[in-house]
Amino acid sequence: MARIVMKFGGTSVADIARIRNVARHVKREVDAGHEVAVVVSAMAGKTNELVAWTREASPMHDAREYDAVVASGEQVTAGLLAITLQNMGVHARSWQGWQIPIKTDNAHGAARILDIDGAFLIKRFGEGQVAVIAGFQGIGPDNRIATLGRGGSDTSAVAIAAAVKADRCDIYTDVDGVYTTDPRIEPKARRLAKISFEEMLEMASLGAKVLQVRSVELAMVHRVRTFVRSSFDDPDAPGMGDLLNPPGTLICDEEEIVEQQVVTGIAYAKDEAQISLRRVGDRPGVAAGIFGPLAEANINVDMIVQNISEDGKLTDMTFTVPSGDVDKALAVLEKLKPEVGYDVVQSESGMSKVSVIGIGMRSHAGVAATAFKALADKAINIRAITTSEIKISILIDGPYTELAVRTLHSVYGLDKQ
């Protein structure tokens, strides 16, 4: 017998037929004798509808009331799934985040989980009950519902799995695992059997949409073995109930991956913009004077490149931001001009960031050179480069994104079994 937390996303619970299919997945694990808790998202499209209603009611609305409205989507799903499970003869009960309780900070709309006491759910396990929990929500210090931001149900599930010391956390979605790259761009992309926490964290933060970044961070900190699985697979197909290796991709400790490839995957993010400050006075504190105010304006700065003049008095500073934040960033920089003392600011949108990721890069030389040569052979110009121990990110012109992804996927042999 094992303790399993199962999470189902919006497309998996989009209507009653799909909720019945989800209930069959849950019943399979219950019938196998496992202790099961289930975390659900709102039905597909429901959160967007609720958000639109709050904005229609008032463009400038109270964040606490926003949370009260948008959290209702998960409440509906949890109740419907509990009813469906009960109809199948499964002892199930729905619970809201505040009933567990999932305690969060006070940042309504983007709250972070502070604590979950697993005793409540462990007591439910002892009673043979399947707890169906509304994801994406908890309760803040002000005793009001607080939501965790988009994709927050993934974070709810991993946090609950850590709190109850679950043997597994299964994230069911509309794909059957984590792939070497986006299969819509490269048909030869392969599903990975295993991927390390660190690699998944890089892929999630660099454009892969399979899991929310915060959920991967939590899984890594608490060492929660996490499977990405498809809810659209037949619940009763052979192997679906395999305790140790069910179908899908296991996200785990690096030590569990025996054969480590040099490169595990290629991620990409479109709609990046490049901003350059020309002829900035090179003096201590100038970088903090630029990037501090940008951070305070909640502008996510990514790749940073600095070129110092020959005499060491001036520098050019180039960095990237999401295209949607360009105007806001330029407004902040315009206010800083008298203090920072740059000559001119230039911006260009329509960039893409393509990243090569793999824990095997730690012990292999020449990985970056391989990427640069492959892109040069395809006449793809590199605008900027950043690296870490297990990642190389390259900024290129947007129209070359798909060609770059396919080229890098092939040059590292990811299209071969």
- Is 268 annotated in some ligand binding site? no
Among 254, 288, 318, residue at a domain's last position: 254
Residue recorded with tokens 């399993």: 4
Domain end position, chosen among 222, 254, 286: 254
Please give the torsion angle defined by the CA atoms of residues 362, 405, 204 and 175, in that order, rounded to the nearest 10 degrees: -120
Q: Based on the fold, state whether residues 226 and 102 are members of the same structural domain.
A: yes
Q: From CA 79, how far away is CA 391, in angstroms rounded?
A: 42
Residue type, 24: R
- Beta strands 226-230 and 168-173 are parallel
Shared-domain flag, residues 92 and 159 = yes
Asked whether residue 174 is marked as a ligand-binding residue, the answer is yes
For residue 92, list its beta bridge partners: 130
In which band, very low, low, confident or very high, does the pLDDT at 310 lie, cut at 50, 70 and 90? low
Residue 260 lies inside a defined structural domain of this protein: no
Check whether 144 is labelled as a binding-site residue: no
Residues 269 and 246 in one domain: no
Residue 156 scores a pLDDT above 80: yes
Quick one: 248 and 378 in the same domain? no
325: annotated binding-site residue? no
d(CA 98, CA 68): 12
Question: Is 147 flagged in the annotation as binding?
Answer: no
Q: Does residue 404 share a domain with residue 282?
A: yes
C-beta of residue 386 within 8 angstroms of C-beta of residue 353: no
At 259 the pLDDT is 67
Q: What six digits make up the tokens of 112?
A: 């972070």
342 vs 35, residue with greater confidence? 35
Query: Which domain, by its residues, includes 401?
Result: 265-411
d(CA 45, CA 11): 9
> What's residue 26's pLDDT?
97
Q: What is the pLDDT of residues 118-147, one digit of tens each?
A: 999 999 999 999 999 999 999 999 999 999
Are 323 and 383 in a shared domain? yes
Residues 62, 64, 201, CA angle at the centre, nearest 5°? 115
Residue 157's pLDDT is 97
What CATH number is attached to the domain comprising 161?
3.40.1160.10
Write phi, then psi, for 322 (nearest 5 degrees). Answer: -60, 140
Q: How far apart are CA 216 and CA 214, in angstroms?
A: 5
Count how many Cα atoms sit within 13 Å of the Cα of residue 85 in the half-sphere of its side chain: 27
For residue 237, what pLDDT band results from cuts at 50, 70 and 90?
confident
209 and 279 share a domain?
no
Pair 102, 208 in one domain: yes
Mean pLDDT of 221-247: 90
Provide the whole-model pTM: 0.86
| Inside any domain, residue 247 | yes
Q: How far apart are CA 415 and CA 417, in angstroms?
A: 7
Any domain includes 369 = yes
Verify that 205 and 276 share a domain, yes or no. no
Asked if residue 173 belongs to a known ligand binding site, the reply is yes
State which H helix or E strand residue 4 sits in. Answer: strand 3-8
pLDDT for res 317? 87
Mean pLDDT, residues 233-257 taken together: 88
Residue 345 annotated in ligand binding = no
Residue 328, annotated as binding a ligand: no
Instruction: Give a yes or no: residue 417 inside a domain.
Output: no
Task: Please tell me whether 362 is known to bind a ligand.
Answer: no
Residues 132, 53, single domain; the answer is yes
Domains identified in the chain, total number: 2
10 assigned ligand-binding residue:
yes
Q: At which of 207, 233, 254 does a domain end? A: 254
CA angle 376, 381, 387 (to 5 degrees): 85
Average pLDDT over residues 359-376: 89
* Averaged pLDDT, 285-309: 86
Cβ–Cβ < 8 Å for 204, 213: yes
216 in the same domain as 352? no
In a domain, 87, yes or no: yes
Q: Flag whether 259 is in a domain.
A: no
Q: Name the β-bridge partners of 357.
A: 265, 391
400 is in an annotated binding site: no
- 213, part of any domain: yes
Tell me the three state secondary structure of residue 256: helix
In this structure, what CATH number is given to the domain that contains residue 361? 3.30.2130.10
Residue 330, domain member (yes or no): yes
Section 287-297 average pLDDT? 89
Query: Does residue 14 sit in the same domain as residue 138?
Result: yes
- Minimal CA–CA distance to 137: which of 76, 216, 221? 76
416 is known to lie in a ligand binding site: no
Q: Can you name the residues that pair with 32 across neighbouring β-strands?
A: none
* Strand 168-173 relative to strand 304-308, pairing: unpaired
